[in-house]
């Protein structure tokens, strides 16, 4: 399995940035073929110091393998999401990709 975790920081001053980002992720990214599991949501507040809490939206997508994730990156819906949503509402993004041990 191949995990693709994305952490988004939205731009200050963009009205409804978090809501628009989540809606855009659902509209453009969720329908892309090959996804095994899809989870998007807002940052969950925590009392624990080790929990990152400066971002607004997190996305985790599970793919069967790295090749499927690579195809996802160049899929027209992904490219459209970047142009129409991401660039408009996001100031920063961090991606964590990891695969099953032993692969």
Q: Three-class SS of residue 81?
A: helix
pTM of the model: 0.92
Catalogue all structural domains in the chain, each as residue range(s) with its CATH number: 2-99 (3.30.70.100)
| Mean predicted lDDT score pLDDT of the chain | 96
pLDDT above 90 (res 102): no
**Complete DSSP assignment for 15-73:** TTHHHHHHHHIIIIITTSTT-SEEEEEE----S-TTS--S-SEEEEEEESSHHHHHHHH
pLDDT above 70 (res 103): no
Q: Taken in order 64, 4, 86, 49, is the CA torsion positive or negative?
A: positive
Task: Give the pair of three-digit tokens for residue 45.
Answer: 């507040």
């Amino acid at each position: 399995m191949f995990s693709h975790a994305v952490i988004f920081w939205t731009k200050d001053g963009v009205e409804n940035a978090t809501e628009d980002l989540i809606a855009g992720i659902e509209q453009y990214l969720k329908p892309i073929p090959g996804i095994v599991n899809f989870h998007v949501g807002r940052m969950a507040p925590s009392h624990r110091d080790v929990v990152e809490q400066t971002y607004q939206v997190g996305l985790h997508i599970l793919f069967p393998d790295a090749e499927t994730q690579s195809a996802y990156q160049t899929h027209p819906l992904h490219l459209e999401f970047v142009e129409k949503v991401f660039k408009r509402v996001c100031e920063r993004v961090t991606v964590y990709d990891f695969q099953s041990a032993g692969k």
